[in-house]
Amino acid sequence: MIDQLDGLGIGLRHLDLGGGLGIRYDEEEPPSAAQFMRAIVDRLLEHRLAASMGLVFEFGRALVGNAGLLLTRLEYVKHNGDRAFAVVDAAMNDLIRPALYEGYHPIVEVSPAASESRLYDVVGPVCESGDWLGKSRPLRIGQEHDLLAVLSAGAYGMSMSSNYNARPRAVELLVDGTNVRVIRQRETIAALWQGEA
């Protein structure tokens, strides 16, 4: 395509290569940014495409994916046969990736309460079969109000969140060392009704 455009007298100054650099969610090992760019540039140079133009990479998820987490509180534990469900106050409207396309996010206890771990399906309170954040996760949770952190939620967490089931979007906090500040207030019920008439 670059050659075709050049043949029409349309010279490109920049080539936007988009994203594609992943982050580690589970056991996978994505390449480093340097390895990723080197592989792309080497391929472009083979075809003499990158010598005369600037290259643009969009590393959004790689930059912010692991910088965010979803903090949630255990509401209660329920059992169905040999399965245990940790019902938390976060839901699929807060982080849709697991329900939408089985996106994996590590889930850890903020303060492990039990001495032994057991497998839990971590689910929300929205009453949908897809309202889950993680399945078969080894956790050491003990009682109601224990905090869990759903990791690697910095990319697409807020931008894909919704008001499904009349749930306000969560507050967003920025933590910088020991400083914490609110960067987005939790939505209010009144704000939910603004679009209804």
Per-residue confidence band for 53, with pLDDT thresholds at 50, 70 and 90:
confident
C-alpha span between 109 and 134 (Å, rounded): 13
DSSP E strand stretches across the chain: 14-16, 54-56, 70-80, 83-88, 107-109, 118-123, 132-139, 147-150, 172-176, 179-184
pTM of structure: 0.81
Give the three-state DSSP class for 46.
Answer: helix
In Å, how far from its chain's centre is CA 24?
11
- Residue 67: per-residue pLDDT: 86
Per-residue model confidence as pLDDT tens digits over 149-176: 999 998 888 889 999 998 999 999 988 9
Q: What CATH code is assigned to 68-159?
A: 2.40.37.10
- Residue 58: per-residue pLDDT: 83
For the chain, what are the domain ranges? Answer: 2-64, 68-159
pLDDT of 57 > 90? The answer is: no
Q: What is the mean pLDDT of the chain?
A: 87
Per-residue confidence band for 29, with pLDDT thresholds at 50, 70 and 90:
confident
Residues annotated as catalytic (active site), given as ranges: 127
